[in-house]
Amino acid sequence: MKKLLIFAVFALTAAVTYAGGYRVSLQGQKSLAMGHTGVAVVNSAELVFFNPAGMVYLENKLNISAGVSGVFADVKFQNTEFGYSTETDSPVGTPFYLYASYKANDWLAFGLGVYTPYGSSVEYPNDWEGSHLVNNIELAAIFVQPTVSVKIFDELSIGGGPIYVTGSVNFNRNLNRTLSDLDGNRTNVTVDASGVNAWGYTIGAMFKPTDKINIGFNYRSEIILDAEGGEADFENVPNSPLTPFADTTFDASLPLPAELTVGFSYQFHSKWLFAFDFNRAFWDVYNSLDIDFADPNIPDSFNRRNYKNASIYRFGLQFEATSKFTLRAGYYFDESPVQDGFFAPETPRNDSNGYTAGLTFNLSDRFQIDASFLYLRFKEVDASYDFYFEDGVAVPFGGTYKSNSFIPGLGISYRM
């Protein structure tokens, strides 16, 4: 009994990483409205994130972009075999970004970005049928990125810089499918870690073979978040030698995958711009998660996740309708990194289609209002998590998942 309870804690503690592949790209309203393309689009300080090499091609000396999105996500789960179903009741997420670029001269530019590429929240009803896997999870990760852009010659530039990451996570689940205290309260554990810091880097290049065509490349490195001294809080634990769980601390290494993006933009008309990006996320770094608990009565854990690399195909279109309004629309297809048998409810993440639209309203020569909207629909999937064990026997948990997200966004741009 003791062994199976300990394993149950470990097996889903892996959710503290960053909700698996559940990453929604929201790094700029202009780019998001165009299907989140941007590696080869020169139009604002959003280049700090998408491709810092392009900052040197911005016309204005100073460019600032800031924005926030509201994430309204919904996950529905149903198991027809056993006749139960549930739906998440997750709070609204508000990822944000702030970028600034400064053009020192014709061949040199500097930039700074603060943004949240990893951040999600999933909350199920208490004691639902899958509560032994997850009740709720919240993740926040903030990236701070100083960058520099250098023009090698008129047709080619390079750029990049370091990335500083600070993050936190809070995760709760029941210890197993039945355990409770004398009052009937389900035994659960909350794993919490904050102030987790790490460093990475980004590099990029932009090539302009003609006045109408841009070709871009950007790479963001793998980043390992080493959580040290995180808190594990056990509640409603029965007073028994078989359940010797006490509050303790833990250490863990949490990987964020490297990403490579290549793409191009084509100004095929004075008012029309087309863009395409291909993004490859190297999720295979997430094979497992090792948990080192400080309490010697709780053995360390090795938990498999076995993610695979995944790609995103992005398409965007921009139309300068008038001197006041620029309209945008886009689409992207996002592959899931989750493999069969590893579909846990804290990562309700399958292949998805993203449909985007938005506009920019020019308040003046210096100020712009940017708006975007993303409807993200995940493919309905019958899937299971096959690596939960009780009494040494695997107890798969699965069913049909339906997921979607509505994400409006608003931003402001300044140029001088």
Q: Which of 263, 281, 266 is nearest to 205 (CA)?
A: 263
| pLDDT tens-place string over residues 240-257 | 877 778 888 888 777 888
Residue 298 and residue 93: Cα distance in Å, rounded?
34
Confidence class of residue 6 from pLDDT cuts 50, 70 and 90?
A: very low
Question: Per-residue DSSP letters for 118-153?
Answer: EEEEEEPPTT-TTTTT-SEEEEEEEEEEEEEEEEEE
- Rounded Cα–Cα distance for residues 173 and 183 (Å): 18
pLDDT score at 278? 97
In this prediction, residue 343 carries a pLDDT of 83
DSSP 270: T
**Helix or strand run (H / E) with residue 32:** helix 29-33
Residue 208 half-sphere exposure toward CB, CA atoms < 13 A: 17
d(CA 92, CA 177): 29
Q: Is residue 195 pLDDT above 50, yes or no?
A: yes
Residues 6+ positions from 41 with CB-CB distance below 8 Å = 30, 31, 34, 47, 50, 54, 214, 216, 265, 273, 275, 316
Q: Is 175 left (phi over 0), alpha (psi -120 to 50) or beta?
A: alpha
- Greatest mean pLDDT among 22-36, 138-152, 393-407 lies in 138-152
Mean pLDDT for all residues in the chain:
86
pLDDT beyond 70 at 336: yes
In contact, 340 and 370? CB cutoff 8 Å: no
State pLDDT tens for residues 272-285. Answer: 999 999 999 999 98
On the 0-12 / 13-18 / 19+ scale of CB atoms within 10 A, 251 is middle
Nearest residue to 19 (alpha-carbon basis) of 411, 410, 403 = 403
DSSP calls for 209-233? SSSSEEEEEEEE--EEEEEEEEEEE
pLDDT of residue 347: 66
Q: What is the pLDDT of residue 18?
A: 29
Residue 188 has pLDDT above 50, yes or no: yes
Token reading at 328: 């945008």
Q: Is the pLDDT of residue 322 over 80?
A: yes
The H-assigned helical ranges of 238-338 are none
CATH 3.90.1200.10 describes domain 2-415: no
Max Cα-Cα span within the chain: 76
Number of residues in the chain: 416
Q: Which tokens sit at 116? A: 């949240």
- The predicted structure's pLDDT at residue 10: 36
